[in-house]
Amino acid sequence: MVVICKKCGLPDDLCACGELDKEETRIIVRLETRRFRKTTTMIEGIDPKLGDLQRIVKELKSKFACGGTAKDGYIMLQGDHRADVKGYLVSMAFNEAAIEVQ
């Protein structure tokens, strides 16, 4: 039996809803200073339903060799990785125009 997407009505193997949602997502990448003048890269705007945040955090931590976590819809990475994160998100099929680096 074929599973049909409730949003677009197409079979799941032909459904493009997830890709369209990725293109419309507005992501903000900013730098925050935490306690003891530690810099943290904050990524907000990635929908937890759209992508697995824990998997994304794990890949980002291994790629940039830093610590990090995902809490309340935010991704926090230790250190300043703003430019590198934007390139990585573009490679994950997020729209480059929708990613704002502050």
Q: Is residue 2 part of a domain?
A: no
**Can you give the pLDDT at residue 32?**
92
Q: What is the pLDDT of residues 19-53, one digit of tens each?
A: 665 666 788 999 999 889 999 999 998 877 666 78
Q: What predicted TM-score, i.e. pTM, was given to this entire model?
A: 0.73
**Can you give the pLDDT at residue 24?**
67
Amino acid (1-letter code) at residue 58 = K
Q: Is residue 55 part of a domain?
A: yes
Q: Is residue 87 part of a domain?
A: yes
Q: What are phi and psi of 43, to 5 degrees?
A: -120, 120
Q: Is residue 58 part of a domain?
A: yes
Q: Is residue 91 part of a domain?
A: yes
| Local structure of residue 12 (DSSP, 8 states) | T
**Can you give the pLDDT at residue 33?**
92
Domain coverage including residue 43 = 19-101
> Which among 80, 67, 92 is positioned nearest to 29, based on CA atoms?
80
Q: Is residue 14 part of a domain?
A: no
- Per the structure, the count of domains in the chain is 1
Contact indicator for 41, 29 with CB cutoff of 8 Å: yes
Look up the CATH number of the domain holding residue 57: 3.30.780.10
Q: What is the pLDDT of residues 60-100, one digit of tens each?
A: 999 999 999 998 888 999 999 988 898 988 888 778 888 88
Query: What are the CA-CA distances from residue 22 to residues 63, 67, 80, 89 (Å)?
Result: 21, 25, 24, 10
Quote the Cα angle for 28-31-33, to 5°: 145
**Can you give the pLDDT at residue 42?**
94
Q: Is residue 13 part of a domain?
A: no
